[in-house]
Amino acid sequence: MGNKVLYTAKAHVTGGRMAGHGSTSDGSLEVDLRIPPELGGKEPGTNPEQLFAVGYAACFESALATVARRQKLEVGEVEIDSKVMLVTGEDRIFTIAVELAVTLPSVEGDAAVDLVEAAHKVCPYSNATRGNIDVTLSANGAPVDL
C-alpha cells in the first residue's frame, strides 16, 4: 500500500538567501530573504533557518496534541522554544542542528518526557530529519533521550 499525500505546500523563491523573496502560492506568506546580521547581513529580512525553526516547532506542537489526544491527556497551553543552528562540517559542507525546548504546563515529570518522546516519533519534521541532523529535545527543562 502506497503513501497518501494529505496536503502539498507550494512556494516560489527567487534570489536565495542573499537578497531573495519567497511567497506561498496562496499568498498567506511573503518574506524577504536575507543573510542574518551574525553572518554579515545588513538588510532586514528572514532566513531559511528562522523559517525552519518556526515550521518545526509548529509541526511538533501538532504532533504533541495528536499524541496527547490519543493518550487522553490534557497538555494545556504548550510552548516550544526552537533553535536551528547553521553548522559547518568537514569538507566545507553545511548542515543544521535543532533544539526544541517544550513546556507542558499541565503535564509533569516523566509523563512530560514520555509525551515529547512519543511526539518525536510521529512529527513529520522529526521523521524527515531523523538520522540526518542533530536534534535535541527537552520537556519542562528535562532532557529527552532519543
Q: What is the pLDDT along the chain (146 residues), one digit of tens a residue?
A: 678 999 999 999 999 888 999 999 999 999 999 999 999 999 999 999 999 999 999 999 999 999 999 999 999 899 999 999 999 988 889 999 999 999 999 999 999 999 999 999 999 999 999 999 999 999 999 999 98
In which residue are the cell numbers 509523563 written?
111
Residue-range domain boundaries for the chain: 1-45, 48-144
pTM (two decimals): 0.93
SS3 102: strand
Q: Indicate the helix (H) or strand (E) that contains 27.
A: none
Top-level CATH class of 48-144? Answer: alpha beta
The second-level CATH assignment, the architecture, of 1-45 is Single Sheet (2.20)
Hunting for cell 535535541 — which residue is that?
A: 136
Collapsed DSSP state (helix, strand, coil) of residue 110: helix
